[in-house]
Structure 1
């Protein structure tokens, strides 16, 4: 998968990133930078990409 390919994300993750991007743009951040920040934020929130729920536990 090439860098920047968003096909590995769920529809919900894509919607959330779009919403985050709009928020950055309203604060005056340029479009491209807003998009970069939005995906970075979404990755931080969700861990990035599609993840199946079953068997995915966090061990500390």
Structure 2
């Protein structure tokens, strides 16, 4: 099971739920019998697992 780091102020990414890098199997095997995998990172958070907090809404004008 994954170990969690201490609570951070940034929320987890909605697209990857905090798991930004995954290994995808290609279906082929290496000569030693292991599967060939490719790493894939979340394009929304760019592999960090977190998103920036939403900007505060400011009312300007009258």
Q: TM-score, normalised on structure 1?
A: 0.30
Higher helix residue share: 1
From the CA coordinates, give the structure whose radius of gyration is larger: 2
